[in-house]
Amino acid sequence: MTVRHTVIVDRLGDWKWDIEGLNPVTANDYLAHRDKTPKRPTRVINLCRRYSYLSGGYYCSLLAEARGDLPMPTVADILDLSRQSLYAFALPELDTLLARTLTRLAEPPEGDFDLHIFFGHADDRRFHRLAAELFDVFRYPLLKLRVVSGKRWRIKAIRPMGLHQVTAALAPYFESSLRSYARVPRRRRAERKPALYDMAILVNPNEKLPPSNETALRRFVRTGQELRMDVELITARDYHRIAEYDALFIRETTALDHHTFRFARKAEAEGMPVIDDAKSILRCTNKVYMWELLHGRSLPTPKTFSLDRATLSDTELAAIEGILGYPMVLKVPDGSFSRGMFKAENRQQVREAAAKLFARSRLILAQEFMYTHFDWRIGILNGAPLYACQYTMPRGHWQIVNHREDGRIIAGGFETFAIEDAPTEVVELATQAASLIGNGLYGVDLKQNEKGVFIIEINDNPNIDGGIEDKVLKGELYATIMREFIRRIEASRSA
């Protein structure tokens, strides 16, 4: 891996480590642009002695941002920790986690104590979760927490540390934490060429309907190795490690109020390619937004109305009934995998379904019921069609996934096509719809009947399952996606 880092110190004498690829420059040289920084952007690890307003450390982070570099800490972080009144917002949640950790310890500390957190790692491993949470909120390389006892344990102060404050006892811990953060290349066996890139794939091992099954995940890992890319499966607990990688691939069902969105934002802040990007998640995970977007571009969709919990009246409902007729479909905006949808046969069922959905969202959708034996899904990557699938409905059901009341999940069948064998009008409409979202990986769902082709929704996190979407392209499907990541990594390095 060749992630570029610039380490800034006030005095070269403060730097006492020999770490491959990490050569310090002084704050004076960096501020004067004499640092000979390689091609930008580069990640700047600001280890100055002081970060106070208008100090040398402050200006190093400020100018790093102006030059397009990625400093740690950022100026926003510096200001947040400049006074306790500014970071007090984070203390209640951190205090709760601190108390929870201490109650689980067989031998809790006696009295007040200090906790050192270097690059998101605590010098006392028992507090690793607290350290990770703190690093998520305040991205400082070196922090010291003062923890005090009393009626309850609490964090009294959070203070940045300078490199000169790293004692001989803390030096090995500092080095190991820095190596972990900077992802310094490990020694590899001679018979294998070293990887050029590192990718993290975010997964949830407990998800019932993940966007990629285990077969697909193994193929992504194997394909990455063939392309000299180290691929590691990570989970929500690895949030603090995002900066260790060159790219992030989210293979967990996304949502806005969810760690997947925070992962995407964090990866973007680190300057790395990520699929799904935060903007795509924002645009795709709310069907109200999507309907407004498609409707505003006059793209064909089933007849749809947005219903407002605060203003829905019998008069409005009667008008909608006259246009949509029965049955009609009611949808919660953030549903996925056929969840959060109801088919209503009459007004009473509309009212019952709406009450359930309004409990989750002020706005919901009422949509024309358009039955077809199957739905099309066209996979789109960076604006180009990638795969085409037909998902058929389970017997006796109107959706491609039947979520039964007893908890069972029954999916219909499928048929996979080469892009050139799918109907041209379906592929072209899907490509046009995906272009409204961005240049990521999307799955556009469409229905086709005697009236034409209609867009149902655009998924930012489409299925790539072994034995289904890869049925035609096989290994080339995985290679195409991984090569796109490599292209983006190289583009970011040469920018």
Checking if the pLDDT of 459 tops 80, the result is: yes
Specify whether 161 is located in the same domain as 102: yes
Q: Is the distance from CB of 329 to CB of 371 less than 8 angstroms? A: no
Give me the CATH number covering residue 114. Answer: 3.30.470
Please count the CA atoms within 13 angstroms of the CA of 224 that sit on its side-chain side. 23
Whether 486 maps to a domain, the answer reads yes
The per-residue pLDDT for 394 is 66
- In angstroms, the CA 257 to CA 448 distance is 33
Specify whether 139 is located in the same domain as 210: no
Specify whether 203 is located in the same domain as 256: yes
Among 1-15, 108-122, 238-252, the least confident range: 1-15
Choose the most confident range, by mean pLDDT, from 308-312, 324-328, 354-358, 431-435. 431-435
Whether 145 maps to a domain, the answer reads yes
Token digits for 460?
């930012």
Confidence of residue 396 (pLDDT cuts 50, 70, 90): low
Confidence of residue 3 (pLDDT cuts 50, 70, 90): very low
The helix (H) or strand (E) run that includes residue 323 is helix 314-324
Specify whether 191 is located in the same domain as 258: yes
Whether 298 maps to a domain, the answer reads no
Phi/psi of residue 219, each to 5°?
-70, -35
DSSP 155: E
Checking if the pLDDT of 338 tops 90, the result is: no
What average pLDDT does this structure show over 451-464? 92
Specify whether 165 is located in the same domain as 211: no
Q: In this predicted model, what pLDDT tens digit does every residue of 279-316 receive, in sequence order?
A: 999 888 877 788 888 888 999 998 888 888 887 888 88
Specify whether 193 is located in the same domain as 278: yes
Q: In this predicted model, what pLDDT tens digit does every residue of 30-65 receive, in sequence order?
A: 888 766 655 656 788 999 988 888 888 888 888 888
Give me the CATH number covering residue 337. Answer: 3.30.1490.20
The per-residue pLDDT for 187 is 42
Domain boundary among 80, 111, 145: 80
Checking if the pLDDT of 413 tops 90, the result is: no
Q: How many domains does the chain have?
A: 4
What is the overall mean pLDDT for the chain? 85
Q: In this predicted model, what pLDDT tens digit does every residue of 265-282 receive, in sequence order?
A: 999 988 899 999 999 998
The per-residue pLDDT for 445 is 92
- Rounded-to-10 torsion of CA 205, 469, 274, 209: -30
Give me the CATH number covering residue 263. Answer: 3.40.50.20
Q: If 0-12 CB within 10 Å is exposed, 13-18 middle and 19+ buried, where does residue 480 land?
A: middle
Whether 193 maps to a domain, the answer reads yes
Whether 290 maps to a domain, the answer reads no
Specify whether 93 is located in the same domain as 171: yes
Nearest to 283 by CA among 431, 416, 434, 163: 434
Checking if the pLDDT of 437 tops 50, the result is: yes
Whether 458 maps to a domain, the answer reads no
Terminal CA-CA length for the chain: 18
Give me the CATH number covering residue 48. Answer: 3.40.250
Give Cβ neighbours of residue 463 (< 8 Å, ≥ 6 apart): 211, 212, 377, 443, 469
Length of the chain: 495
Amino acid letter, 45: I
Domain boundary among 368, 385, 408: 368
Q: What is the three-class DSSP state of 6?
A: strand
Specify whether 239 is located in the same domain as 272: yes
Specify whether 364 is located in the same domain as 325: yes
Domain boundary among 13, 47, 80: 80
Q: In this predicted model, what pLDDT tens digit does every residue of 85-129 receive, in sequence order?
A: 777 878 888 888 888 888 887 777 778 888 899 998 888 888 888
Among 5-14, 104-113, 345-354, the least confident range: 104-113
Whether 390 maps to a domain, the answer reads no
Question: Strand pairing of 304-308 and 70-72?
Answer: unpaired
Alpha-carbon distances of 477 from 201, 251, 381, 422, 430, rounded to whole Å: 16, 15, 11, 17, 18
Whether 141 maps to a domain, the answer reads yes
Q: Cα Rg for the chain, rounded, in angstroms?
A: 26
Task: Quote the percentage of the chain above a pLDDT of 90.
Answer: 32
- In angstroms, the CA 303 to CA 454 distance is 10
Please count the CA atoms within 13 angstroms of the CA of 331 that sit on its side-chain side. 26
Longest dimension (CA), the chain: 79
Task: Quote the percentage of the chain above a pLDDT of 70.
Answer: 90
Specify whether 122 is located in the same domain as 63: no
| Ranges assigned E (strand) in 289-393 | 304-308, 328-331, 341-344, 363-368, 374-381, 384-392
The per-residue pLDDT for 270 is 87
The per-residue pLDDT for 191 is 46
What average pLDDT does this structure show over 168-177? 84
Instruction: Name residue 459's beta-bridge partners.
Output: 443
Alpha-carbon distances of 468 from 46, 208, 213, 312, 415, rounded to whole Å: 48, 17, 10, 42, 8
The per-residue pLDDT for 164 is 86
Range of the domain at 28: 5-80
The per-residue pLDDT for 387 is 96
Alpha-carbon distances of 130 from 90, 127, 155, rounded to whole Å: 12, 5, 11
Specify whether 48 is located in the same domain as 76: yes
- In angstroms, the CA 348 to CA 361 distance is 20
Specify whether 76 is located in the same domain as 88: no
